[in-house]
Each structure stands twice: as C-alpha cells, then as structure tokens.
C-alpha cells in the first residue's frame, strides 16, 4: 500500500529519493536509540558506582535530568524547522525544506525514547536487576502508588497492565489513522514551507479534536504512566506532554496567523487533546479508518 502524500514528500526532498529517504529514517532511529541508552545509563550509573557519594545523593533526580535533556534537544531541533524558516529560505529558496527536514526528523525521533523511558522499570533490566537503588528516595519514587496504598500485588499488576496496554494501543491506532487520513506530506509539515500548495483539512476528526497526531503520542505516554504508575512514571509522562504542548503552541501560532479569528473561534469549540464523551463515537470511526 502506497502512503498518501509520499510523492509530494519525495518531490520536496530531491536529494533523498528512494532508499536515501530510508537513510534519514535510520538516522532518526539511531538518534532515538542513543537517547534511550543515555536515559537508562544515567538512571543506573549511581548503582554501578555506589561508592561515589554525590551520585547517591542525586540518584532520585537523574531520571528527570536525563528526560529534560532529551526533551530540550528534541524541542530545539524541532523548533529550528519553524524558527529558521525565513532565514534559510533567503539563502536556499525551494531547497530550504530539504535542508531543515533531517534535523526536524531527528527531533521527532527523540520523543519515543521519552515515552519508553516512562515504561522502563530499571529493576527489570537483566544486568541491573540484582543491584538495588542506593538512595531510599529512589525506591519510594519508583514503587507503584497502588502498592503504597495497600492494593494487593496481583490486582495492582493486572490493573496497570490492562490500562497501560489499552492506552498504548489506542495511541498506536490513532497515529496510524492520522497518517492514513492526512498523508505523509502533512505529517512531515511540508505545508509549513510550501503554504501555497497546502490544502485545508476538513476531516471529521477535526470536529472532535484539534491535534489527532499529538493525541496519539499523549495516549502512549499515558500508557507509560500506567505501566508503573509511580511518581517517576507520572512525571516522565508529564515531560512528554510538555514537549507536545510546546509544539502545539508553535503550530497554532502559525495557524492563527493564516486563518485569524476563524481559527481562534475553532480553538474555543474543539479541545486540543481531549476527546469529549459525546464525541467518542466519532473518534472510534476515525480509528476504524486504519483497518
């Protein structure tokens, strides 16, 4: 099956035809892998070097520090696609998008490691499992909240597993439906550099929610939140949400400049990342388009 909008994306990337586009995707995947390794390494360093006092003291903070670093790099790379547009257009003209796209793709690729970081239990890693945290606060912040409230272990595990799986799967299907409905060119913000070629999207999902693609990432982050349902997983999922809100703010500023009061009124009527119960049936219809 040929993805909608792929031809236009190739058209705007003359230097990345055929398999060369795959190289860009692999590079973004490598960036994602390195980011995830960085996050996990930062989490476990205090356990591997427990004799270093300063590491023991800051151990509870390291998961947040690592996630904030990766989130900051992601925001910086993605924001360059928007902020450097006019400056780069003056130098490169129609090749501007081709110049800016690779960095933006790497930035987007840094979001999944943030999501999977929320899923990851350091205790489940084979080489780390025998090594306990060196700071008691780390243990408390990584303990599932339901267990701390006295919920039996069997109920806690199954409840977290079911909720995590449901939200993550809804996120995956929402992302797939978004790609199939709007096309690769739309998802890759070709319209940002070629507004004269863009088309107003009138899909029914936009009466339900303003940003279905970002909803998918939010749902997967919530899946990570429930996978452990600890202080850590909640705060790490919140970091993902803040990255998404940052990008939504940037995109909506662009949309207000293009469509003015009409888009401002639309924002008042339709939620950003929340499907209202009265609209849930329409949201399910959108998901069915993926099958």
Secondary-structure breakdown of the chain: helix, strand, coil percentages, each rounded to the nearest 5: 80, 0, 20
- In angstroms, the CA 109 to CA 81 distance is 14
What count of other Cβ atoms lies within 10 Å of the Cβ of residue 176? Answer: 15
Within-domain flag for 252: yes
Which tokens hold the place of 52? 């270093």
Domains: count for the chain = 1
Two structure tokens written together for 258? 């293009």
Q: How far apart are CA 172 and CA 154, in angstroms?
A: 27
- Cβ–Cβ < 8 Å for 44, 122: yes
Interacting residues of 183 by C-beta distance below 8 A, sequence separation 6+: 3, 4, 5, 6, 8
Residue 199: the pLDDT is: 66
In-domain check, residue 193: yes
Provide the domain limits for residue 165.
6-288
Residue pair 167/222 in contact (Cβ under 8 Å)? The answer is: yes
SS3 call for 68: helix
The whole-angstrom separation of Cα 215 and Cα 213 is 5
Residue 184 has a pLDDT of 87
Q: pLDDT for 27-84, tens place per residue? A: 999 999 999 999 999 999 998 898 899 999 999 999 999 999 999 999 999 999 998 8
Tokens read off for 138: 């780390």
- pLDDT of 211 higher than 60: yes
Residue 147 lies in a domain: yes
DSSP per-residue string spanning 273-288:
S---GGGHHHHHHHHH
In a domain? residue 99: yes
What does the alpha-carbon distance between residue 130 and residue 199 come to, in Å, rounded to a whole number?
Answer: 56
Q: Which helix (H) or strand (E) holds 272?
A: none
* pTM for this entry: 0.91
Render pLDDT for 134-181 as a digit per residue (tens, 0 to 9): 899 998 999 899 888 888 988 999 999 999 999 999 999 999 999 988
Domain assignment of residue 17, yes or no: yes
Per the structure block, which two tokens stand in for 42? Answer: 């930062």
> Is 80 exceeded by the pLDDT of residue 191?
yes
The contacts of residue 247 (CB under 8 Å, 6+ apart) are 75, 78, 214
What pLDDT does 19 receive? 81
Confidence class for position 130, pLDDT limits 50, 70, 90 = low
Q: How large is the average pLDDT for residues 118-124?
A: 81
Residue 55: inside a domain, yes or no? Answer: yes
Residue 1 lies in a domain: no
Instruction: Output the CA torsion 129→133→138→142 (10° steps).
Output: 10
CB neighbour list of residue 260: distance below 8 Å, 6 or more residues apart: none
Query: Would 48 be classed as within a structural domain?
Result: yes
Find, among 45, 44, 46, the residue nearest to 56 by Cα: 46
- pLDDT of 126 reads 67
What phi, psi does 14 have (nearest 5°)? -60, -25
């Amino acid at each position: 099956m040929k993805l909608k909008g792929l031809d236009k994306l190739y058209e705007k990337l003359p230097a990345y035809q055929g398999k060369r586009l795959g190289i860009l995707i692999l590079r973004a995947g490598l960036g994602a892998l390195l980011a995830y390794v960085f996050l996990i390494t930062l989490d476990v360093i205090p356990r591997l070097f427990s004799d270093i006092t300063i590491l023991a003291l800051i151990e509870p903070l390291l998961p947040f520090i690592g996630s904030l670093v990766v989130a900051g790099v992601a925001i910086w790379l993605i924001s360059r696609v928007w902020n450097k547009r006019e400056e780069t257009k003056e130098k490169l003209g129609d090749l501007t998008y081709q110049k800016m796209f690779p960095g933006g793709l790497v930035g987007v690729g840094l979001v999944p490691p943030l999501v999977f970081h929320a899923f990851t239990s350091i205790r489940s890693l084979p080489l780390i499992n025998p090594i306990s945290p060196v700071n008691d606060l780390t243990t408390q912040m990584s303990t599932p909240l339901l267990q701390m409230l006295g919920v039996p272990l069997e109920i806690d595990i199954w409840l977290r597993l079911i909720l995590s799986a449901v939200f993550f799967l809804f996120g995956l299907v929402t992302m797939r439906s978004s790609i199939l409905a709007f096309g690769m060119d739309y998802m890759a913000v070709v319209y940002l550099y070629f507004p004269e070629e863009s088309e107003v999207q009138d899909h029914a999902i936009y009466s339900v929610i303003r940003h279905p693609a970002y909803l998918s990432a939010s749902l997967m982050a919530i899946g990570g939140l429930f996978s452990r349902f600890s202080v850590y997983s909640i705060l790490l999922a919140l970091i993902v949400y803040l990255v998404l809100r940052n990008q939504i703010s940037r995109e909506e500023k662009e949309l207000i400049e293009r469509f003015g009061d009409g888009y401002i009124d639309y924002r008042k009527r339709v939620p950003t990342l929340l499907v209202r119960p009265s609209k849930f049936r329409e949201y399910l219809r959108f998901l069915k388009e993926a099958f």
